[in-house]
Structure 1
Amino acid sequence: MAMNTTGAAGAWLPDSTGNLIIQPVGRESVALQALGGPVLVGETSSSYRVPLVTADPSAGWVAEGAEIPLSDAALGEVSKKFSKIAGLTRISAELADDSDPAAAEQIGAGIARDIARTLDAAFFGTNGGSADQPEGLEDLTGANVITTSGTAWENVDPFIEALYGAEEVGATVGAFVLNPTDALAVSRLKESDTSNRTLLTPDATEASRRLLAGVPMLVSPAVTAGTAWGIPADGRLQVAVRQDVQVESDRSVFFSSHEVAVRGIMRATIVAPHEAALQRIDLATA
């Protein structure tokens, strides 16, 4: 951590600035919840590389005593550069000078909320051709696209289709993520016209978790209305975060109000080693 004003109290911000930001962002970001957390990258590198096996070695029936044919796996990689996410907040000088650990938590929470919102918007959206942020899910062209038969959510059939679409390429859907408006509509679906039982089922092991076609359903306003995402498990879609998170403070910028500016910077990227495992469900247009 760098303090721009000499003699400023330092007890309010701990040395473990990485966890101060990364852990709250992991709780706040719906993208990271769907993925089970970020991949933390510690080595010095401007990009994140994921090795791929694009073709398996071949096997076949071989006669007794015959030579086994030699075959090789086809290897490749996906490489994405890290982009910078920055959050800025301000706190009173009194809070900054307080050595109570709760002060550090408040600072981290404020920065983490800014970063989490920015990360989710990039993850579920598009970068619009900008070089300042990584490509989002809407930029990927290899996802399995499922279009509903009607212009409104009528049943969970499209989500069941997504589960089998993932299995067709050897993947598993770990979570569905919907816009709040779509999540509400799906939550209101009933088993039949004469039943009040919803198609959305509760999780017996966790009361606050909702299951859609047996898979956890998460909600994020960063998802475009009319679109739902089936997020694959097992590392087939990743958010990689550099562990060298930077937290800096400055007492001069808000001098007149006796406040301290606190800035957090986290470098991250979005990598889709197996785009076909990603499931996109779109409502049909009129």
Structure 2
Amino acid sequence: MYNCSVAENGTDLRWRNPAYSAVFGSVMILGLPLNAVSLWILACRHKLHAPSAVFMINLAVSDLLLVISLPPRVYFYATGHWPLGKMACIWITMLFRNNIRSSSIFITFICVDRLLAVVYPLRSRHLRTTTNAWKATAGVWTFVVVWNFPESWSFSRYLNCCTDCKCFEFSKPPWIWLDSLQPVLVLLMLTVNVVCTIMVSATLRKRLSESAKVNNKVNVMLIFIMNLIMFAVFFLPVSLVTFLKSWTSGTPLVCLASVNCCLDPLLYYFSFDGFWKRKEGVDTSIPCE
């Protein structure tokens, strides 16, 4: 059965809405140019010489999709009115939720790629190719799109039975078993990141062979630390709260989660030596001095 009551029993949330609108608006203003410029630099200057560049391009695309979903949210929280209909509400919600899923996977791919480059530099060369990277990213987007179909249908049923519900203001997740998959996915990706971080940290403390030489170990570890922060601060809390409680209860965390798209460009910077410089035939997979 669907709970078709208004979120929080009609509690007056007007004092919160300007804050939500300001956060989403700020993320939109910062996130659009940061990710657009990052996407241009990765695609045009680094020439996809490394698998990490492929994963980062797709991460930037995921963040841009999140950014373009924010103007309707800003309008809704600024005015309290939703003029675009139920289907627009569903797909804008999907864009946000897709960002958490795709970003968590792409960040994990970047983490695993760093692990292979540092810990298994020779044995992983046949795996760490741009072709395999594009195949992996195609699989991620297919997975995300397929996930959208049952979830969108569930949202549609919920909104159709709820005549007085507002967009983004739901009393509880409309399809409980499907909604539980997101925190499971995030926890799984976080576990992989933790394991990779431990293995790379242990490897960097040893004397590396010439094939795995890393001149700037600080940059390498910063990548892993930033990945863990992304999961601990932006992805996991909102996934758990919206599953355990309600979507309205998780709105502050939704605001916080949207900030991740403004911080991802830092990940690109620390992942490549001379991020702003054009790379011609150089493997930029491991940061160098």
Task: Name whichever structure is richer in helix by fraction.
Answer: 2
Give the structure-1-normalised TM-score.
0.25
Task: Name whichever structure is richer in strand by fraction.
Answer: 1
Give the structure-2-normalised TM-score.
0.25
Structure 1 or 2, whichever has the larger Rg, is 1
